[in-house]
Amino acid sequence: MAISKRFGIQWRQPIIGRAKHGTVFYKNGLKVAFVAFADFSNVTVPASYSLNNYHDTALVKKLLTEARANADVVIVSAHWGTEDSNIVNSDQQQAAKQFAELGADVVIGTGPHVVQRVSWLDRPSGSKTLVWYSTGNMLSSQLKTDELTGGVAGFTVTKQNGVVSITDMSFVGTFMSYEWSAADRAASNLAARHNLLLQPLAEANDATAAFGTTVAERSAYLHRVLGNEVQLAVTP
């Protein structure tokens, strides 16, 4: 598998969390809390390695209250949503509302395998929470072009006079491609997919053409689903 070097991905990433805890780190002088939640787990694992389930409202309140008290910025990762649907479901909306009410500044969603809209939610403090309901797939070998189209969410965090602001929403579109012969495709031989390549959508003319679409069509799709407030970036 190949990943375009333009993404600047660093492979040796630290472990940034553990079950029933959040993580606090420093970035450009800001103290950032990161808390991850999921809708469910598809495997049975020991309690010490379990996911933070956002249906456990007491746990959500505990972790986000701690995060809010110990950081300038609170970011929530949420694995949720209806697979292969661009529509935000009621469970996502309810969970996002709870995250916002408990002080999350940004929520970044994954799980549906396709992109979903971006919204601002009001908070009791008078500020707002930025919610990316789904950024779509990144590394995958799924079959539909919508599942192969994802991206990297971007936003600017500033702190002035003790007040944190989130602005400048952007999205670097990506396209995931692979080689798969007509014979293997007809036989549904999924294991035969090879030479996987992830690259910025803007550079994926050949890759999109191989899947019967174009960069322009994929860009229009992202604009339509994400909404007009999001600036679709051309390059990372």
Query: Is residue 45 packed enough to be buried (19+ CB in 10 Å), middle (13-18) or exposed (0-12)?
Result: exposed
Looking at this protein, which amino acid is placed at residue 178? Y
Per the structure block, which two tokens stand in for 153?
Answer: 């969410």
Per-domain boundaries in the chain: 2-233
Q: How far apart are CA 148 and CA 170, in angstroms?
A: 19
131 in Cβ contact with 118 (< 8 Å): yes
pLDDT tens for the 236 residues of the chain, in order: 444 445 444 444 444 555 566 788 888 888 999 999 887 666 666 555 567 787 889 999 999 999 999 999 999 999 999 999 999 999 999 999 999 999 999 999 999 999 999 999 998 888 899 999 999 998 899 999 999 999 999 999 998 888 889 998 999 999 999 999 999 999 999 999 999 999 999 999 999 999 999 999 999 999 999 988 898 875 55
User: Using the 8-state DSSP alphabet, how is residue 115 labeled?
Assistant: B
| Stated pTM of the model | 0.87
